[in-house]
Structure formats: C-alpha cells, structure tokens
Structure 1
C-alpha cells in the first residue's frame, strides 16, 4: 500500500497517524470472517399432492 492510497480530507495528519489508522483498518479487514455459502433448506411447497389429500372436501370449499 502506498501513501497515495490514503488521503487526509480535512486537517493535517502526521505519517505516524496515517500508519496507525492504516494498521487498524488492515487488522479489521483481516479479522472479518469469510462469507460462507450455507445451503438454505428448501421452502415448503405451496401445492399438495393428490394422494395426500383427504378423500372428502366440503361442498363450499374449492381449490
């Protein structure tokens, strides 16, 4: 990393201060856990299988 990578927008920072903040930022970036791709369980199907339906439906119900 070069000195041109970090710029002080307002005020004046000594090189030691820039080095300290750079060390903190790099340590935080290194400590961040890697994103893992966990497999999510499948959502429950909205439709029903006919063989699992009860044999009788009320006359006022419809699907």
Structure 2
C-alpha cells in the first residue's frame, strides 16, 4: 500500500494517525463477508445447483482431474 501526500506538510503523528485509519478500514473490509447475489442477500437454497442432484455426488479422489476430460 502506498500513500502519497499531495498537499500540506503533515507531521509524523498526523501521518501515523491517517495510516492507522486506512489500515483499520482495510482490515474491517477484509473481514466483512462478501455480498451474495442480488445486492448483498445470501443465495436462496432453492437456487443452489446441487439441489437438482438426486443423490450425493462422489467425492473426487486422486487422479480425478484427469477423468474429468477423457471419457472412460
């Protein structure tokens, strides 16, 4: 993160205070949950893609990435 002073002559204490506010806001934004679709509301269970599966899908195992493209 880079901060540049474009006007004025702030003291070290003023710069430290401004930087503390910027870092606190960045930390709060990083901890906040990301908004879901439709403006911040979580996705409804009825629209989940795994709802259409009739049975649970098997967990992928070793080498499963190769089987996803080649049939057989």
Specify the TM-score bucket, using the shorter chain as the normaliser: 0.3 to 0.5
The structure with the larger Rg is: 1
- More contact order relative to length (CA 8 Å, sep ≥ 6): 1
Is the helix fraction higher in 1 or 2? Answer: 2
